Each structure stands twice: as structure tokens, then as C-alpha cells.
Amino acid sequence: MFEMIRRVFKIAGNSRGKIVAGIVYNILKSFFNGFMMFGVFWILLHLDGLSPVVIGQSFGVIMCSVLGRFFFQWMYDRTMSGSGYDIFRDYRLEIGDRLKQAPMGYFSEQNLGTIQAMLTTTISDLEGYSMLAIEQMTSGVAMAVLMSVMMFLFSPVIAGLSLVGLALGMLVLRWVRLRAAQYAPIYQEAQEHLVGKVMEYIRGISVLRSFSKGEEGQREVRTAFQKKWDADYGQEKATAGVLRFYGLTFKLMSCVLIAAAALLYLAGQISLPYCLTFLFCAFTVYSDLETMGNSAFLSKKINTELDRLEEVTDIPKMDTNSEKLVVSHYDISLEHISFGYGDRRVIHDILLEIPEHTTCAIVGPSGSGKTTLCNLIARFWDVQEGIVRIGGKNVRNYTADSVLEHISMVFQNVYLFHDSVENNIRFGRSEATHEEVVAAAKRACCHDFILTLPDGYDTIIGEGGSTFSGGEKQRISIARAILKDAPIIILDEATSSVDPENEQALLSAIQELTKDKTLISIAHRLSTVRNADQIIVIDHGRIIQRGTHEELLSIDGMYRRFLSLRTEAAGWHL
């Protein structure tokens, strides 16, 4: 049980002092609570010759006990209220920092569901009950120790019996913990499963509907809800009964203490005041220990949640070095780089030079490694062999953020944030003025269509950009990149054809964006390929051809075949 306190303490950061102070106040509160017994004892001891002085003394002790208890409870509340939220707010922020430094590979679909479950439900649970568990546990133990010591001063036999009760209670508590250990992981798993399924259902709802599988998707979510209900119910059922036993043990032991006190009095071993004091204490001795049953269960649950939290937040780190990349030129060189996802190699020994202000078009079949190659240049992942250099410097030695400051990436699947059009464009450079945003939008050929929106630049975009067409989204993302004005552009051209008017606007936007830049383009348009300074053809993660359009066209190889296929498919004219 104390393992849980140790672990919460470990992640408590700046709140550690508060936890220690809270525990001390809690112990003092229990001490004052137990102190009341002396006031009662004092009156009982002087029953034969009760005087106002004795009553006053006794009253003083009882008042002292009540006020002391009140004071330390108040101090405890003052110190500890909100501590759970402080600790886990800091912990959330820490996870946020670690996520920023994680390689992109970490953000797999499976991880996203789990991370979401951890950052929301699991941490909310911990915020809510970790401090409560600490409070219940410390007062339970403090009260039990204190009462046992005090009883020992009055009668070793009664003290011995109360310790037997304590030992029995601990045995039942072990049983509670075993039950909790059995159910806590099931509950945790059901919780994560539910969050994952709900997220998947919401994300994939359009696909599910278009394939008339909405009902099927719902069924999975319903099953996940049922599984969660089973876990909740199972946990409740398994532990509630045992917790009743735990309470019963102490009640029975209180009866034994009463009987023992009466018998000792009958046998002339203790006097009446002692006997009456024991009768008075028989039920209070275990009161705090009874509530400790809940905390035993909670502590097991908290430990399981902390295990899971540690597992999930053991995030691989890319930036072990905090130096920023500063370069004087923007030549890019890939020196024999190789890379794989897990054990699966997808990039093999690539050697490539892209001089500053030149364009390099990458072509190749689907799955050949084009996107992966671009992501390695942007340091979304680190290469496993070889070196990626920008301006002659190994990107691995600099922070991922600083590498990306020099690069603008325009993806096929554009993600727009649920915010105004203006802020989505300003994302490229947060300090840009409205005029600069408009100028970028004009250059990206999206100013006119933005003006037709209900609130112009203030129009709020649906999450992910759901309220815009593919071409419009891509032009807004180009405006973003124009505003950023990074010297290196990585462009993943749209494969799907857009209507001619949009296509023309898109091409003009791309031309504006890429003027005087170093451009790496996953090319799907003939114009991009034909005008590139160099073209590389990738197959199965290897460069199998390189050269200009004319050079590659003159040899029989994948490029020529690829081009003739595209000619047929997309109506290209060579």
C-alpha cells in the first residue's frame, strides 16, 4: 500500500513538500482525535469525587482534542486540496513535452487511443482519488498505532487484543488487495479499449457509412461499452463483499474488546474507570482503519494505473541534444541512408545530393518509400544508417524543431485546425499581420474563395478541414507555407485530379511557393517532373534511376514505363 504513496511522491515534482506536510497534518489530526479518550478517562477516574476543577480539566482536554483535530484537518485541506490536480497537471504537461520530442512512428493508431485514454480518463481518475487514498491510509495507520500505544499504557491485555484485531484486519485487507489486483487491469484494459473504439468509430464514420457498415461499427462500440460495464460491475461485485468482511472483522473485534474489558473488571484486574474507558474506546479504535479498506482497494487500482501510465509514457526521445540547427546554405545530402519501420527495411543505402535552389522530383510506385524518404529529410524519424545533412550539418545533432524551421511541408492530406481561416494560415508564422496573411493567401490563389465564405478570413473551419474541398484545403496549406517562407520545400503533390480551374489555381500557388527554394517533390504531374533539375526513381526503397527528364526518357527503364502508364491513365502529353 505504501508503495502507492512512494510512486505518487515520485511523480509529484514541486508538490512533494505539500504531500509530506499533508501526511504530517493527517497524523497529528489522528493524534488529537485519540486524545479525546484522556478527557473521558479523567472524568471516569474521578467519578467518586467529581468537582468543577476535574470537569474543567476534562472539558479542556476534550476541547483541545476537538479544536486540534479541526485545526489539523483544516491545515490538511488547505495544503492538499488541489494537490492531486497540481501533480497531474504537471505530469500532463511533462507528457506533452515528451510527445513533442517523440519520433513520428510513436503516433500509431493504437498508441493514439491509448495516449488519449491515459491523458483523459486515467489521469482524471488519479487526480480524483490518489490524495483521498493517501489521506485514508495515513489516518488509518496513525490511529491504529496511537490507540494501541495508549491502550498498552492502560492494560497490556486489552492492547494485545486490539493488536490481534489489527492483524486480522490486515489479513482481510490482503484479500481485498488480491481481489483488486485481479480486477484493476481488467478495468484498465476495458477503459482503454472503449476510448480506442469510440475514437475509431468517430474517425471512420464516413467510411463505415459509405460501405453501409454503420451498424457494424456501432456494434463494436456497443460491445466495448458492455465490456466496460462488465469490468465495472465485476470489480464492484468482487470487492464490495470482501470490504464488508473487512468492516465486520473490526466490529467483531470491538465486541471482543468490550467483553474482555468487562471480564477483566469482573476478575478485579482493572478498576471501573478503566473498564468504562475501554468500552468507550472499543469502537473508536478501529474507526479510521475501517475507511482504510477503501483506500487499500484504491491503492491497488492506482498502482495499476500508474504502471500503465509509465508504460505508455515511456516515450522514445529523439532530441537528446538541444542545439539548434543554424546553416549558411541549404544543400541537402543523403549519405548512404537506410531506414526501416521496426524490423522492416524500407529505405536502402540511398545516396543523393540536392544542391540549394534546385528541384528534385521523386517518382516511383506506391509503397516504394517516397514519403518515408521525405520524412527522413525533415527528421520526423532518424535514419538507422548513414547521415542526412542540411547545409553540410548532420540533422541528427540538432533539435527536430529547429530542423523543421527550415522546411515547409505540403502534404496531400492537409489537416486544417478547428479555427478561423486566418489563424490556419497564420500557423505558418504566428507573428504575421493580417495584411501578410492576406498577401500569402493571394499568392496561394485562395484569397478570392476565402472572400466568398460567410465570415471571410474569420470563418471557422470544421475540424480537420471537413468544410473545404481537397483543392481548397491544399491551397490554404500552401498559403501557410508561403507565409512561413522556409528555404526548403517538401511537396507531396495531390494524386487525385481536381477540376481544371482549381488545378490551375493550385499550380500557380505551388509556383509561388517554390520560387527560389530548394524543392523536393513527390511528383505526380508531368510538368513538375519535366522541369525538375534532377529526377530520382525509387523502387523498393532504392534509387534505381536518376537524371533529367530527357536523360531518363532516352533509356529504357522504369521512368519511361512509368511515364507511358501515366500518359495513358492521366492523359499526359510527352
Ligand X SMILES: Nc1ncnc2c1ncn2[C@@H]1O[C@H](COP(=O)(O)OP(=O)(O)OP(=O)(O)O)[C@@H](O)[C@H]1O
Q: Which of 478, 415, 468 is nearest to 444 (CA)?
A: 478
In the block, which residue shows the cell 499526359? 572
List 2, 211, 233, 341, residue binding ligand X (CB under 6 A) = 341
Distance CA 259, CA 253 (A): 10
Distance CA 359, CA 516 (A): 10
Contacts of 93 (CB under 8 A, 6+ apart): none
Q: Which of 298, 296, 24 is nearest to 175 (CA)?
A: 296
Smallest distance from ligand X to CB 107, Å: 9
Tell the burial category of 140 from Cβ atoms under 10 Å away from its Cβ (0-12, 13-18, 19+).
buried
- Check binding of 204 to ligand X (CB under 6 A): no
Q: Which of 302, 304, 314, 309 is nearest to 118 (CA)?
A: 309
Smallest distance from ligand X to CB 528, Å: 15
Residue 411 phi, psi dihedral angles, 5° rounding: -95, 165
Q: Where does 271-358 show beta strands of DSSP type E?
A: 332-341, 344-354
Smallest distance from ligand X to CB 433, Å: 37
C-beta closer to ligand X: residue 20 or 104: 104
- Check binding of 524 to ligand X (CB under 6 A): no
Smallest distance from ligand X to CB 242, Å: 45
- Check binding of 391 to ligand X (CB under 6 A): no
Q: Which stretch binds ligand X (CB under 6 A): 220-228, 269-277, 292-300, 362-370?
A: 362-370
Q: Which stretch binds ligand X (CB under 6 A): 41-49, 303-311, 361-369, 392-400?
A: 361-369
- Check binding of 371 to ligand X (CB under 6 A): yes
Distance CA 291, CA 298 (A): 11
Smallest distance from ligand X to CB 342, Å: 7
Distance CA 49, CA 46 (A): 5
Q: Which stretch binds ligand X (CB under 6 A): 277-285, 365-373, 418-426, 529-537?
A: 365-373
Q: Where does 189-237 show beta strands of DSSP type E?
A: none
Q: Which stretch binds ligand X (CB under 6 A): 12-20, 24-32, 359-367, 557-565?
A: 359-367
Smallest distance from ligand X to CB 354, Å: 17
What size, in residues, is the chain?
574
Distance CA 360, CA 548 (A): 10
Smallest distance from ligand X to CB 538, Å: 7
- Check binding of 105 to ligand X (CB under 6 A): yes
| Residue 401 DSSP code | H
- Check binding of 366 to ligand X (CB under 6 A): yes
C-beta closer to ligand X: residue 177 or 370: 370
Residue 206's Cα: distance from chain center in Å? 27
- Check binding of 372 to ligand X (CB under 6 A): yes
Q: Which stretch binds ligand X (CB under 6 A): 131-139, 157-165, 368-376, 388-396?
A: 368-376
Contacts of 441 (CB under 8 A, 6+ apart): 425, 447, 450, 457, 476, 479
C-beta closer to ligand X: residue 346 or 507: 346
Residue 437's Cα: distance from chain center in Å? 34
- Residues in the interface with ligand X (CB under 6 A) total 11
List 368, 477, 502, 518, residue binding ligand X (CB under 6 A) = 368
List 22, 39, 84, 369, residue binding ligand X (CB under 6 A) = 369
Smallest distance from ligand X to CB 383, Å: 14
Smallest distance from ligand X to CB 116, Å: 18
Q: Which of 526, 536, 529 is nearest to 557 (CA)?
A: 536
C-beta closer to ligand X: residue 131 or 362: 362
- Check binding of 304 to ligand X (CB under 6 A): no
Question: Could you give the string, one character per residue 169-188, with x where binding to ligand X holds by CB under 6 A and - elsewhere?
Answer: --------------------
- Check binding of 241 to ligand X (CB under 6 A): no
Calculate the dihedral angle through the C-alpha atoms of 112, 116, 118, 123, rounding to the nearest 10 degrees. 160
List 112, 186, 199, 346, residue binding ligand X (CB under 6 A) = 346
Farthest CA pair distance, the chain: 122
Q: Which grid coordinates are listed for 247?
A: 468492516
List 177, 370, 406, 475, residue binding ligand X (CB under 6 A) = 370
Q: Which stretch binds ligand X (CB under 6 A): 89-97, 113-121, 309-317, 370-378?
A: 370-378
Smallest distance from ligand X to CB 544, Å: 13
Amino acid making up residue 250: F
Contacts of 513 (CB under 8 A, 6+ apart): 408, 410, 443, 444, 478, 481, 482, 489, 491
Q: Which grid coordinates are listed for 379?
A: 527528421
C-beta closer to ligand X: residue 503 or 539: 539
- Check binding of 528 to ligand X (CB under 6 A): no
Smallest distance from ligand X to CB 370, Å: 4
- Check binding of 367 to ligand X (CB under 6 A): yes
Smallest distance from ligand X to CB 347, Å: 8
Residues that bind ligand X (CB under 6 A): 105, 341, 346, 364, 366-372
